[in-house]
Structure 1
Amino acid sequence: MAMNLPSGRGKGRRAPMADINVTPLVDVMLVLLIIFMVTAPLLTAGVPVNLPDSRAKALDQEQEPVQVSLDDQGRIFVGENEVAEAILPDVLAEIAAGSDAAAPRQIFLRADRSIDYGAVMRVMGELNRAGLNRVSLVTVASDAR
């Protein structure tokens, strides 16, 4: 540990301090780390949907998929935006046109477990008609029984 003792030279001047106190920096970084650890799980899904359980394993993917969600009232969401059923084919056609033929877009279909099966099949039919055939049904992983 070094100490700065006054010397006989330059009686009116103080020597510059060459030490940096890193304790406040470490404290701030730890607080930021805790904040990010708490908020990161909250950023995963935008539309609250009660998903069914499944024992299937997660998929590996290279590009960000498009999320299509149906909530418990039957409303349709593409990403975070609510879409009327009448304009759903146009929105899906835009998505299909933006994807490249070599690597078509992956679609994650999330539907509430209490919703009518026919509503899910209508959305899947529109996805198929738009040429978006890489559809994954999202579920909640359950424990092996």
Structure 2
Amino acid sequence: MARVVRARRIPDTAPIGAINITPLIDVMLVLLVVIIIAIPIASHEVPVDLPVGPSRVVDPLPPTVLAIDRQGTLTWNGEAVRDAALPDRLAGLRQSGAALHLQTDPEARYERFDGILAVVKRAGITKLGFVGNRPLED
């Protein structure tokens, strides 16, 4: 008996309608997280006026030291000072032209330091230095 071989019909290859987009979503989420983390770091800046060139002028007046201890108490050259009296002292310092050194105990609260720094800025002090990060002597 002769066998008749019929060719099977191969179905037309149609484009796949369902694409696996899970890897695409994973990559997009990773990129989104990287962008969210990187943007605040790149856009944070603090404007600082730095001197240009070598310093040739020696300041004849000794600097005034404003210290904040760990409890948040202010001292002006070793003398306790109230917050209400600080703007007047800063105005006198600005007129004298002396520099202000801000010394803060490492255990002091940042909010306290930030508030005092805002008062100094409002007073118009331009000669400002920060003393090292070490505990104040008792």
Q: Any stretches of 5+ residues in structure 1 without a counterpart?
A: 1-59, 100-104
Match of 1:123 in 2: 116
Q: Find the partner of 2:87 among 84, 89, 93.
A: 89
Correspondence for 1:39? none
Do the aligned residues in 1 keep the contact of 2:104 with 2:133 (CA within 8 Å)? Answer: no
Give the secondary-structure state (helix, strand or coil) at the position aligned to 1:82.
Answer: strand
Superposition TM-score, scaled by structure 1 size: 0.48
Map Cα deviations across residues 109-137 of structure 1 (whole Å, 9 max, x no partner). Answer: 00000111111111111111111122111
Report deviation, 1:85. 0.8
Shift, 1:70, TM fit: 0.5
Any idea what the Cα deviations from partners look like across 1:29-66, whole Å, max 9, x if unmatched? xxxxxxxxxxxxxxxxxxxxxxxxxxxxxxx8633111
Q: Does 1:135 align with 2:133?
A: no
Q: 1:93 to 1:139 in 2, by over 3 A?
A: same
What's the RMSD between the two structures over aligned residues? Answer: 2.0
2: CA distance, partners of 1:106 / 1:135: 6
**Does the 8 A contact of 2:66 with 2:74 survive in 1?**
yes
Identity %: 23
**Superposed structure 1 runs of 4+ greater than 3 Å apart:** 60-63
Q: Write out aligned runs for 1:43-54 (5 A).
A: none
Q: Whose radius of gyration is greater, 1 or 2?
A: 2
- C-alpha separation between the residues in 1 aligned to 2:65 and 2:83? 16
For residue 86 of structure 1, give the secondary structure of its aligned residue in structure 2.
Answer: helix
Q: Deviation digits for residues 94-113 of structure 1, max 9, x if unmatched? A: 111222xxxxx221100000
SS at match of 1:110: strand
Rounded Cα–Cα distance in structure 2 between residues aligned with 1:140 and 1:75? 17
Say yes or no: does 1:76 pair with 2:69.
Answer: no
**TM-score, with normalisation over the residues of structure 2?**
0.50
In the alignment, the residues of structure 1 paired with residue 87 and residue 121 of structure 2 have an alpha-carbon distance, to the nearest angstrom, of 10
Q: Give 1:68's aligned amino acid.
A: L
Separation of aligned partners in 1, 2:110 and 2:133: 18
In the alignment, what sits opposite 1:98? 96
